[in-house]
Amino acid sequence: MKPGADVLIIGAGIVGVACALECARVGLSTLVVESHMVGGGATGAGMGHLVVMDDSPAQIALTQLSCALWKELQPDLPGSVEYDACGTMWVAADHEEMAEVERKSHIYSNAGIVSEVVTGRKLYEYEPNLRPGLSGGLRVKGDAVIYPPTAAAWLLDQAIHKGSKFQKGQAVREVHEGGIVVFENGDRLCARTVVVATGANATKLVPGIALKPRKGHLIITDRYPGHIRHQLIELGYLKNAHQLTQDTVAFNVQPRRTGQLLIGSSRQYGALDSRIEKSITAKMLERAFWYLPHLKDLLCLRVWTGFRAATPDKVPLIGPAPNPVTGRPMEGVWLATGHEGLGITTSLGTARILADRLVGNTPSIPWEPYEPLRFSLQKGPIP
């Protein structure tokens, strides 16, 4: 079969469309195939926080690169993307967490990220609705918030403008070595490189990769402009968010440009259906009430769930896919998934790295930490 395009991207979530734009930008002929709609999966379910996260050097590097790329795009983004440079406030409940603020601020400043240590009264000047008695926080002014589904649609439009093609309505059933894609209706397409960007569903096309769905719940309120001003996250967030086995909740509340509040967050492994889980949602609300007592009176409009694509080391998979049997790179099949809760932020960085690697450029940050083969090479080929 002759390749019909340089790059065929499966999935029009934000990662897929960002990859399409970057590939088109470096001159590759690009096709995006999507079974349902743009941004209809994890992209449509997520929060849209553009944030620098400091869990590991690889995570800082990718989130920092990505936030810088979002800032470059920002002047061009349409109003519907609801870009809001609200910043993040990491909230410290007590003195112990205040020590963590200092540590975090250090990491950020070493990475060249501006942050402000906030203590006592200053915290309440920034966020008057936080509960009294908190110790302080770390304010990261450069973080922002967007509305992901329209951002994905806009990125796709840009990609199409640069020559990328888009095909909607047929789901992909199989992906084979040699860049071959088989659709549900039996149609086949071939590309020099197929990029699987289907989030937590990537394991259906490339079995055996180190990826698990991690369920999350979100609640959105009616419009209460000014109730909070920054994305508020408890400092224990990373601690909570990255326990690998337990179900966890953390205080993570976002002000939308509409004035709505988006209340999160929860993380569960092993929960595979999309139903609302009462106990975890109740815990999530309880945690949010502890930090924001007036939240109790605000009217909630909707509750929903989504699935993050989680890897064991919390860093995404960007590069050649491992063959499920040999563990060696599959010819012509790449992955762009495993972004866990950071896919909206890191979509742009992912796309930049992927496109650079595809045309043989050296990415601006080391790409090795995101190499999907890192897991299969560790365990070696399956005998």
Partner 1 sequence: MSGEPKRASLLIVGSGPAAIAAAVTFARYADPSEQCLVLDEMSTSGGQIWRSGSTNGLAKYWLDGMSLPNIHRKQGQVLDVLPQKPGVVFQSPNGETQICLGNDLVLATGARERWIPFPGWTLPGVVGMGGLQAMIKTGLCVANKRVVIAGSGPLMYPVARSVQKAKGKLLLLAEQASFAKLANFTAHLPAYPEKAFEALGYLAKLWKVSSPVGTWVQQAGGEGRLEWVQMTNGKKSWRMECDYLATGCHLIPNIDLARMAGCTIEKDRVKVDSLGQTSRSHLYAIGECTGVGGAERAIAQGIVAGLAAAGQRELSHHQSAALPRWERFVQLLDATFSPRSELLDQIREDTIVCRCEDIPHGKIKPMSCWREAKLQTRLGMGPCQGKVCGPAAKALYGFEPDFPRPPFQPLSAQALFQMYQSENQES
Partner 2 sequence: MSDPQRVNIELNGRPVSVPVGHTLLSAVFNAGFGTTRTSVTGQPRGPLCGMGFCHECTVTIDGLFHQRSCMITVRQGMVVETVPLP
Residues that bind partner 2 (CB under 8 A): 222-226, 258-259, 297, 299
3-state secondary structure of 360: coil
Q: What sign results for the dihedral spanned by CA atoms 220, 51, 48, 62? A: negative
Least distance in angstroms from the C-beta of 226 to partner 1: 17
The nearest distance, CB 262 to partner 1, in angstroms, is 12
Contact partner, 9, from partner 1, partner 2, none, Cβ < 5-8 Å per class = none
The CA distance from 334 to 320, in Å, is: 4
φ, ψ of residue 184 to 5 degrees: the values are -55, -35
* DSSP single-letter state for residue 51: -
Report what 368 binds from partner 1, partner 2, none; CB cut-off 5-8 Å by kind. none
Least Å distance between CB 285 and partner 1?
Answer: 4
Q: Which of partner 1, partner 2, none lies near 1, with the C-beta cut-off 5 to 8 A by kind?
A: none
Q: Is 325 in the site for partner 1 (CB under 8 A)?
A: no
* Cβ 292 to partner 1 shortest distance, Å: 9
Q: Which residue, 19, 115, 39, 43, is CA-closest to 341? A: 43
Is the Cβ of residue 301 or residue 325 nearer to partner 1 in the bound state?
301
289 binds, among partner 2, partner 1, none (CB under 5 to 8 A by kind): partner 1
> At 192, is the secondary structure helix, strand, or coil?
strand
Q: How far is CA 88 from CA 261, 293, 343, in A?
A: 14, 19, 17
Angle between helices 148-161 and 343-359 (to 10 degrees): 20
**Contact between 368 and 355 (Cβ < 8 Å):** no
Q: Which of 149, 213, 264, 316 touches partner 1 (CB under 8 A)? A: 149
Q: Which of partner 1, partner 2, none sits in contact with 225, Cβ below 5 to 8 A by type?
A: partner 2
* Alpha carbon distance 235, 178 (integer Å): 46
Return the residue of 5, 7, 38, 249 that touches partner 1, per CB under 8 A. 38
Taking the complex as a whole, how short is the minimal distance between the CB of residue 147 and partner 1, in angstroms? Answer: 9
Contact footprint for partner 1 (CB under 8 A): 37-40, 44, 149-150, 153, 219, 221-222, 263, 276, 278-279, 281-282, 285-286, 288-289, 295-304
